[in-house]
Amino acid sequence: MKPEIIITAKGHAGTMATLQSEFATHLLSEAPDRNAFLKQHAGTVRGLATFGPMPVDGKLMDALPKLEIISNFGVGVDAINLDDAKKRNIIVTNTPDVLNDCVADTALALIMNTLRRMPQSEAYLRAGKWAARGPYPLATSLGGKVLGILGLGRIGEAIAKRAMACGMKIRYHNRNKKDVPYPYDPDPVALAKESDVLMIVTPGGAETAKLVNSKVLDALGPQGYLVNIARGSVVDEPVLLRYLQENKIAGAGLDVFADEPRVPPEFFTLENAVLFPHVGSATVETRKAMGDLQIENLRRHFSGKPVLTRIA
């Protein structure tokens, strides 16, 4: 008998195919009646394979009393209530490390595109403005600029390496000082004050909600850039929008938003922002590696072995 699991939403195609062949699966996102669906599977479902931002809270866990494991596709587990899982002795796993390089590549691309205004300059050419109006206005160099990393974990370290190769200097703020060769700042405002580019790499969730607020953006100042590859929830988004509209900061590069995939349309008209549709880890290779790890955790759990990447 294959173990029964619920898949919360459709994920990466290869991962879906393997999940469906190794487990008896039920797809929650396509259920016409969520309550009836949960009731129908309550007695038999032992695992959840989670994809995307759908909240996984105590209420959902209680609706599945046989639940033993929640295996998330992604390193960020802010959609899963870890305390609720702990109280119910449910294992939670994620997919760290396999996406570090890919997400760091995206972060570097956002720094470069935002400071050098590459997408805007390309749009200028495509609109026929080069011939009509002359050269595109000068942009800002990366070399010699200070990159402040808010949340220096494994992804942050991979970003630091790439940024240093472009001649940037690194500083950081974490809750705890780390044994790294970069200067430490005691809080986000102090870090922003010292930074030309402030890079958000913290986890999402209640602890970091709106950590980057007007005080931090004021400290970053009119010559400073914000880049976010973490979670939209970490930034006070309406305040950021206003600061960009009023040129109170120089620009922003954003891969994540507060209510994805809905992005406030006011962002679309900003000349000083570069916007990506949450593509941090979105390559064939990395998504496959994430899926393989998500599945391996389920496989190991259901064959009585310890999971590889338990977060709670």
Tell me which residues are annotated as active site.
231, 260, 278
Least CB distance to ligand 8YV at residue 309 (A): 12
Is there a contact between 169 and 145 (Cβ–Cβ < 8 Å)? yes
Measured from the CB atom, the residue of 75 and 216 that comes closer to ligand 8YV is 75
Measured from the CB atom, the residue of 25 and 281 that comes closer to ligand 8YV is 281
Is there a contact between 11 and 25 (Cβ–Cβ < 8 Å)? no
- Around Cβ 164, how many Cβ atoms within 10 Å? 13
Is there a contact between 18 and 58 (Cβ–Cβ < 8 Å)? no
Measured from the CB atom, the residue of 27 and 189 that comes closer to ligand 8YV is 27
Least CB distance to ligand 8YV at residue 278 (A): 5
Task: Report how far Cα 124 is from the mean position of its chain's Cα atoms.
Answer: 30
Cis amide leading into 306 (omega within 30): no
**Measured between alpha carbons, how far is 312 from 93 in angstroms, rounded to an integer?**
7
Measured from the CB atom, the residue of 195 and 202 that comes closer to ligand 8YV is 202
Read off the tokens for 275. Answer: 């916007």
Q: Which residue is nearest to ligand 8YV (CB)?
A: 74
Measured from the CB atom, the residue of 226 and 250 that comes closer to ligand 8YV is 226
Read off the tokens for 213. Answer: 């607020």
Least CB distance to ligand 8YV at residue 156 (A): 14
Measured from the CB atom, the residue of 51 and 182 that comes closer to ligand 8YV is 51
Radius of gyration of the chain (CA): 21
Q: What does the chain come to in residues?
A: 312
Beta bridge partners of 12: none
Beta bridge partners of 170: 147
Give the three-class secondary structure for 49: strand
Least CB distance to ligand 8YV at residue 256 (A): 7
Least CB distance to ligand 8YV at residue 281 (A): 3
Least CB distance to ligand 8YV at residue 180 (A): 23
**Measured between alpha carbons, how far is 1 from 307 in angstroms, rounded to an integer?**
20
Beta bridge partners of 146: 169
**Measured between alpha carbons, how far is 243 from 239 in angstroms, rounded to an integer?**
6
Instruction: Write out the residues near ligand 8YV by the rule CB under 6 A.
Output: 51-52, 73-76, 99, 278, 280-281
